[in-house]
Amino acid sequence: MIAIIDYGMGNLRSVQKGFERVGCDATVTADPKVVLEADKIVLPGVGAFPDCMRNLEQGGFIEPLLRVIREGRPFLGICLGLQLLFTESEEFGIHQGLGVIPGRVVRFPEGMAEHGENLKVPHMGWNQLEIRRRPPVFEGVEDGSNFYFVHSYYVSPEDESVVATTTSYGIGFCSSIWKENIVATQFHPEKSQEKGLRILKNFGEMK
C-alpha cells in the first residue's frame, strides 16, 4: 500500500490520481497509524515551510515519518515534501525541518537573469533536469527531460552526493535528491505528464 500523507497542505488528490493512472493503489490518509502500516510513503506539499512543519507535528506524523524512513521503506517527497527533509529553512525566519538530510532551504536571489531576460520568483513552469545520479524511480527518464516546477525556495544539501538532478533557473540548483530509500523532487511529477507519471509508476513498483 502507498500512503499519501494528508497534513492539510498540498493537492493530494492530483497525486493520488497520478498513481491511479499508472495502475498503483494509493491511499490519502490523515492517520499516523496508517503511515506506520504502509509499504511506501509519499509526502507531498504546497505552501509555507513553517506551516507544514507545524501541521505535521500537530497531526502526529513526525515520529511515524522518521520511523518508516529509518526502517528503509520507499519514501517519495514532492515539492515541499523535499524541503521538509532538510535541517532548516529560511522561509519566514529560521525554522527546523525533519533533519533527515543535512542542509538548508534557501530563497532564490533577487535580480536573477538568464539569456538576457529577468527571471521572476517564484520559479513557475517547465524546466529541464540534468541527471547527476539516477535513482531507480528515474528509469526511462532521459537527461534533459522537462518537468513542472512551482517554488520560491530550493534545497542546498551539505553533502553533494545526495543530489540526483540539478536544474538551471538563474542559478543551478538541486532539483531532486536520492539517498538510500529516499527520493524527493522539487518538481511535481503528478503535473509533469508522461515523464512524471513514469516516476510515479516506477515508485509504485518498487519492492
Question: Active-site residue numbers?
Answer: 79, 188, 190
Beta carbons within 10 angstroms of residue 168's beta carbon: 12
Distance CA 121, CA 125 (A): 11
Question: How remote is the C-alpha of 159 from its chain's centroid?
Answer: 17
Residue 71: CB atoms within 10 A of its CB come to 9
Cβ-proximal residues to 99 (8 Å cutoff; 6+ apart), any chain? 86, 87
What's the farthest any 2 CA atoms get from each other in the chain? 52
